[in-house]
């Protein structure tokens, strides 16, 4: 009786302004999307002067209905805001890119990552996370050990600007993923609810005027010097002053690192200038468990998979293209079957079309193998921390067409 009275008094307080939608909207928020939305976090943001509209489907809501989605749900308050979530079993290709070049912080595309969560925001502003379900998800035609969840929370946030908005997205996606995993009893540890997000956009360049000329004195690059990437170029024996960076997800499903000899105090050049043929940049990435098939599929669609064997790619290097060679390997790691990919790029001053000599090609092969071996054996690196073993080298991919 006391609990019931309290509920009546609580909802009665929401109607005190005479418009009367708060109680219904909050009750709707609690029920919507199979009850997976973070009610306590969002309840204070629902409006009172407009009624909510729910659109939802998926096997979590209608178990007997065939659907690719576990949950596809939107709760909208017209003219005010919305919450949209989608959860899909990783049974087919993932629509968000997980290629190394698209995950690396910096560059021209902004995005956000939440430390401790596998996922990020992309160019389209969507936030996604990946969660493991080692016991398998129900209702699938084959065993599925993971899911991806997208979330977009368009409501007044407790905070300012994009970071607060994207943090709400990530927190909602994580709680939806945890709710599905618990409901399906598919095992694994719940994802940590993120407390912050990190801007991955390399946009903050500081400069001083020196005699009328602008001199770059620093770049605020996210992921600069992360522990798992340290020594990436130097440990493999490549000469030069190496600067490393990497993703900040702190994930057991995904890791991306790169290293360059570019001087960060003068990003327009190198000091000293590497000779022709010198290794000037390298990268290393790993995709484990439910992400391994997605990574393999995405690189295969762009023609950059190890499945393209010798003779299927030309050795003619187009003008201005980097001289890059990739090497793929596969291991068993903490989260299951894992693909690794390393790349080596070389300096050249000849921008005309030419063909690599056999000696140059052989040197390239030795370089990527050295890099792969050092990456897998680095004490602070991702593969060692994820207990990777039984590694099989799969093949090379020439990074020129």
pLDDT per residue as tens digits for the range 207-216: 555 555 555 4
- Separation of first and last alpha carbons in the chain: 75
Give the count of beta carbons closer than 10 Å to the beta carbon of residue 218. Answer: 12
d(CA 173, CA 170): 5
pTM assigned to the model: 0.83
**Contact, 186 vs 198, CB < 8 A?**
no
pLDDT at site 273: 64
* 3-state SS track over 6-53: HHHHHHHHHCCCCCCCHHHHHHHHHHCHHHCCCHHHHHHHCCCCCCCE
Would you place residue 222 in the very low, low, confident or very high pLDDT band (cuts 50, 70, 90)?
confident
- What does the pLDDT average to over 178-186? 93
**Contact, 384 vs 378, CB < 8 A?**
yes
Would you place residue 9 in the very low, low, confident or very high pLDDT band (cuts 50, 70, 90)?
very low
Q: Based on the number of CB atoms within 10 Å of its own CB, is 80 exposed (0-12), middle (13-18) or buried (19 or more)?
A: middle
**Contact, 372 vs 344, CB < 8 A?**
no
pLDDT at site 321: 55
85 SS3 class: strand
DSSP 359: H
CA angle 364, 367, 368 (to 5 degrees): 90
Rounding to the nearest 10 degrees, give the CA dihedral for residues 31, 32, 37, 38.
-40
d(CA 228, CA 380): 5
- What does the pLDDT average to over 334-363? 82
Give the count of beta carbons closer than 10 Å to the beta carbon of residue 269. Answer: 9
Q: Is the pLDDT of residue 161 over 80?
A: no
Q: How many helices (H) and strands (E) does the chain have?
A: 8, 18
For helices 2-14 and 22-31, give the axis angle rounded to 10 degrees. 120
Q: What is the CA radius of gyration of the chain?
A: 25
pLDDT at site 261: 86
pLDDT at site 240: 86
Read off the tokens for 74: 């939107």
- What does the pLDDT average to over 145-164? 83
Place of tokens 């219904």: 24
Give the count of beta carbons closer than 10 Å to the beta carbon of residue 51. Answer: 13
Q: Is the pLDDT of residue 17 over 80?
A: no
The mean-pLDDT minimum among 23-37, 148-162, 342-356, 372-386 falls in: 342-356
d(CA 235, CA 213): 37
Would you place residue 47 in the very low, low, confident or very high pLDDT band (cuts 50, 70, 90)?
very high
User: What are the beta bridge partners of residue 288?
Assistant: 338
Kindly list the distances between the CA atom of residue 351 and the CA atoms of 316, 331, 347, 394, in Å, as whole numbers in the listed order.
12, 37, 11, 31
d(CA 110, CA 95): 18
Cis peptide before 187 (omega within 30 of 0): no
Place of tokens 């909208």: 76
Ordered by start, the domain boundaries in the chain are 13-89+111-198, 204-398
Which residues 6+ apart lie within 8 Å of 246 measured at CB?
Answer: 104, 105, 223, 226, 228, 229, 255, 256, 257, 258
What are 84-126's pLDDT values in tens digits?
A: 999 999 876 788 889 998 888 765 556 889 999 999 986 667 7
Between 35 and 348, residue with greater pLDDT: 35
What are 257-271's pLDDT values in tens digits?
A: 999 986 555 555 555
pLDDT at site 84: 96
> In 3D, which of 202, 205, 269, 281 has the Cα closest to residue 243?
281
d(CA 103, CA 291): 13
């Amino acid at each position: 009786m006391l609990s019931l009275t309290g509920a009546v008094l609580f909802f009665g307080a929401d109607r005190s302004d005479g418009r009367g939608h708060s109680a219904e909207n909050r009750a709707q928020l609690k029920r919507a999307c199979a009850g997976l939305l973070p009610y306590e976090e969002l309840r204070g943001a629902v409006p009172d002067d407009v009624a909510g509209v729910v659109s939802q489907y998926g096997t979590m809501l209608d178990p007997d209905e065939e659907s690719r989605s576990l949950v596809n749900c939107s709760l909208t308050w017209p003219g005010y805001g919305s919450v949209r979530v989608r959860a899909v079993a990783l049974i087919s290709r993932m629509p968000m890119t997980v290629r190394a070049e698209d995950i690396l912080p910096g560059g021209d595309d902004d995005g956000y990552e939440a430390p401790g969560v596998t996922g990020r925001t992309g160019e389209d502003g969507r936030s996604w996370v990946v969660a493991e379900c080692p016991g398998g998800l129900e209702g699938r035609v084959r065993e599925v050990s993971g899911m991806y969840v997208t979330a977009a929370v368009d409501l007044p946030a407790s905070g300012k600007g994009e970071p607060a908005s994207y943090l709400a997205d990530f927190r909602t996606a994580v709680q939806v993923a945890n709710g599905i995993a618990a409901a399906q009893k598919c095992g694994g540890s719940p994802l940590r609810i993120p407390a912050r997000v990190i801007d991955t956009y390399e946009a903050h360049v500081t400069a001083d005027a020196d005699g009328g000329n602008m001199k770059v004195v620093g770049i605020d690059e996210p992921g600069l010097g992360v522990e798992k990437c340290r020594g990436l170029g130097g440990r493999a024996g490549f000469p030069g002053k190496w600067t490393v960076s990497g993703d900040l997800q702190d994930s057991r499903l995904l890791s991306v690192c790169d290293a360059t000899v570019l001087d960060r105090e003068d990003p327009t050049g190198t000091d000293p200038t590497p000779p022709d043929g010198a290794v000037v940049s390298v990268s290393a990435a790993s995709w484990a468990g439910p992400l391994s098939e997605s990574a393999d599929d995405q690189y295969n669609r762009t023609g950059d998979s190890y499945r393209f064997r010798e003779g299927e790619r030309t050795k003619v290097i187009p003008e201005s293209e980097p001289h890059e060679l990739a090497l793929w390997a596969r291991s068993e790691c903490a989260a299951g079957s894992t693909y690794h990919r390393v790349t080596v790029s070389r300096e050249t001053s000849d921008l005309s079309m030419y063909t690599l000599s056999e000696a140059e090609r052989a040197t390239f092969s030795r370089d990527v193998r050295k890099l792969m071996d050092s990456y897998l054996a680095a004490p602070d690196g991702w593969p060692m921390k994820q207990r990777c073993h039984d590694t099989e080298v799969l093949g090379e991919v020439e990074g020129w067409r």
